[in-house]
Structure 1
Amino acid sequence: MPNIGPTELIILLVIVLVIFGPKRLPGLGKQLGDGMRDFKDAVTAKHDAADDDESERPALTRAEADDEPEATVPAPERTRREA
């Protein structure tokens, strides 16, 4: 695989500038940077979550809470008083 030198980088930048134009280039750079930052944060957060103490139970989502049986208290039996 050939190495990319300064000449190839200049040619690539000129092609990108022609395709996207000078007005959209800063916005594309910002979007690319934001995407890379979000990806890095997601990867490190996933890695950090695996290293955390597993004794803490995560909060249930609404769907998970609906699946769990509810604890019901039986109603007291009513006795009929005889006269």
Structure 2
Amino acid sequence: MAGLGPMEIGLIILAILLLFGYKKLPDASRSLGRSLRIFKGEMKGMKDDDVRTKDAAKTSPVRGEVLPPATAADREREALEAEARAAEARAAELRARATQAGPADRTR
């Protein structure tokens, strides 16, 4: 199979120009660029998820395996996560109370 020569490339460009028109080409190319950026980002996200999954598999305990003791940084992170969960629960409770209160209660 031979490569594309200048004549074939010119015909392809002419066909695209006739198909879309010169006014729509910038919008079409912009949309194509956005789509490719989104696709690239999703592929990178999937790669990152695979790496995280492999790392989690390496660090997750196997039956009978003893894990090393948690470091101070691990304990601090767990404490912060617990505090964040408690704050989220409190916020959800306050939102629920606000939705239960009638409009007359809010104007006071």
TM-score (norm 1): 0.59
Identify the residue that residue 51 of structure 1 maps to in structure 2: 51
Query: In structure 2, what is the equivalent of residue 35 of structure 1?
Result: 35
Shift of the alpha carbon at 1:8?
A: 1.3
Aligned identity (percent) is 31
Secondary structure in 2 matching 1:28 = helix
User: Which has a greater percent of helix?
Assistant: 2
In the comparison of the two structures, how many residue pairs are matched? Answer: 55
Q: 1:13 aligns to what?
A: 13
Aligned-residue Cα RMSD (Å) equals 1.4
Cα deviations by residue, 1:3-30 (Å, 9 ceiling, x for unpaired): 1122211110111101110110110111
3-state secondary structure, aligned to 2:23: helix
Structure 1 unaligned runs (5+)?
56-83
CA distance in 1, matches of 2:2, 2:38: 31
Shift of residue 37 of structure 1? Answer: 1.2
Relative CO higher for 1 or 2, CA cutoff 8 Å, sep ≥ 6? 1
Stretches (4+) displaced over 2 A: none
Name the CA distance, whole Å, in 1 between partners of 2:44 and 2:22: 34
3-state secondary structure, aligned to 1:15: helix
Instruction: Compute the TM-score of the two structures, normalised by the length of structure 2.
Output: 0.46
Q: Return the index of the structure with the highest Cα Rg.
A: 1
